[in-house]
Structure 1
Amino acid sequence: MLPVYFISHGGPTFAIRGHSGSEVGAWDTVRKLGPEILSLNPDYIICVSAHWRSSNKILVSSFDGENPLVYDFYNFPRELYETKFHTNGSKSIAANIVSLLQKHGIDAASESRGLDHGVWTPLRVAFGNPHVQDTGNLDLAVPLIQVSLPQSDKMVDSYKLGEALASLRSQNVAIICSGMSVHNLKELKQAMSQEIKVAPYVEPFNSWLTDSLTNHYGLEALQKAETDPELQKLYLKAHPTPEHFHPVVVAVGAAKDGKAEVLHTAGSITLGWNIYRFS
């Protein structure tokens, strides 16, 4: 059974090691994950990103041939808009994933949408050559399929998506969930102007998340952030909006009772960079 991964991907500048919008430890950890995952010889890779939330139904990227890239960011260095990450999709694999989700009672459909930066930015670090804008070659030999998050803000709905995908792990499929352990862009600019190195809520939330995952507390522990008044305050500071947290909930659902291991933890300004492997 293949592992599940949760990675904190930052923004598109994560691809540039040492950039102020990246984090060296997270970059180095993600760079090591590529060879690790490929050594398992997966038939294909699924990625769930914070940057694709779909209304009404779960959508699955469906292409035969190369996956297009979505440059879903603004006012970044020009080189990032010229960066490429060459991977292939598969309409037949996408159709199988849609069928699997439907069997689990999740309304799903195929969608001809490209890969957003929550997928291609970290995965080109993991699997491609991050020092070259465009290799001109296929950067990942196995198909890469993106699955959307549910529109719902309730953790249970993201967990159910992970549960539905879980059986694919025993069918030689790797699952990567891409978000942030802490993601507060609302306070980022002000924190930078005040030269705050790490906001006071980043480390406590990172620690709570690691404790919840590594001690196998599962969905019930995560949901306390929705119901416990004090924990909810911390959660809403760490995640004013939930889309960057819900990929870790998907990972917990896909891992079921699997062991969680923290591969990296760090905080910078109003961001958390934790990375986990679920076996």
Structure 2
Amino acid sequence: MSAVNQRQPVFFISHGGGPWPWMPNALNNVYAQLAQSLASLLDSLPKKPDAILMISAHWEAPEFTVQTALQPDMIYDYGGFPPHTYQVHYASSGSPELAERVVDLLEQAHIKVSSDDGRGYDHGMFSPMQIINPAADIPVVQLSLKKGLNPQEHIEMGRALAALRDENILIIASGLSYHNLRMFNANAAGPSRDFDQWLYEAVVKHQGSERNQLLQQWELAPAARIAHPREEHLLPLMVAVGAAELEQGSRNYHETAFLGGLSVSSFAFGDLRH
């Protein structure tokens, strides 16, 4: 296989709510389809990655900030779940080497970047990774969003990181295609469907500058501010799109009855094994 075909794809995943992989009823019922999609992710890659760079909706910083700890702690950034879910542990290591490479690439692109050696793993990372790679034998480094949540800045940041894909690094952007906690039920069936259809068309039927422009203007989409009253769960998608700017997207997870009626999706960019 040629070196070109070994380039790692990029993913935007809907990561679900809280510590769902450690709650059997949720895992086997509400989250069954999402779990199936996440569990097949590594098998779709051209080869096992050396490390994973995860951009989570649950970390915002004044400027893009990379996690540098070799053994990050856990951050239980959720509330109201069973006591045992505040003891869960995802045992992957960090990668100071990857963190340093991220800093180098962003600085080369004249993008301000900071490092944080105390930042732990949040549930936007460890919940989906528990399903993606339960063996936890691939180092994972988190990279923050930038406060202000400017779509163009996040696309540009993703573009600067695209070279990692040729270095056997997998980039996963972790958010939710629909995130309105006040309408996380069947009452949002219509708005979530309308926004999900727009997002599908924007991501899959366009690419390059056209796709960038559509996503930069996402607030003009049908039901946009119902789907995302605050857009931190959509912004990881901008990073993924930037890292795969000229490549076609595909929808690799989709359901229309999530939590009783929500339409939700995940997307992949680049060449996948089938």
Q: Same fold (TM over 0.5)?
A: yes
Alignment of 1:1-279 (within 5 A): 1-15=7-21, 16=23, 18-19=25-26, 22-37=30-45, 40-55=47-62, 57-64=63-70, 66-112=71-117, 113-128=119-134, 139-188=135-184, 191=185, 196=186, 198-217=188-207, 218-226=211-219, 228=220, 231=221, 234-267=223-256, 268-269=258-259, 271-279=262-270
How much has 1:106 moved relative to structure 2?
A: 1.1
Residue 88 of structure 2 aligns to a residue in which SS? coil
Aligned equivalents of 1:28, 1:265: Cα separation in 2:
11
CA distance in 2, matches of 1:5, 1:272: 18
Aligned-partner Cα distance in 2 for 1:14–1:245: 20
CA RMSD of aligned residues (A): 2.0
TM-score for the superposition, normalised by structure 2: 0.87
- Structure 2 unaligned spans of 5+: 1-6
Distance in structure 2 (CA, Å) of the matches to 1:34 and 1:260: 17
My pick for the range that moved more, 144-153 or 235-244, is 144-153
Query: What percentage of residue pairs aligned between the two structures are identical?
Result: 30
8 Å Cα contact 1:43-1:143 kept in structure 2: yes
Deviations 1:47-85 (A, max 9, x none): 000000111x21111112x22211111111112112111
Q: What are the Cα deviations for residues 25-45 of structure 1, in whole angstroms up to 9, with x where unaligned?
A: 1111011113434x6121211
* CA contact 1:9–1:273 (8 Å) conserved in 2: no
TM-score (norm 1): 0.85
Q: Point out 4+ residue stretches in structure 1 off by more than 4 angstroms.
A: 269-272
Q: Which runs of 5+ in 1 are unaligned?
A: 129-138
Tell me how far 1:187 sits from its aligned partner: 2.6
Q: Which moved more, 1:15-24 or 1:85-94?
A: 15-24
Distance 2:147 2:263 in 1: 23
Give 1:105 shift.
Answer: 1.3
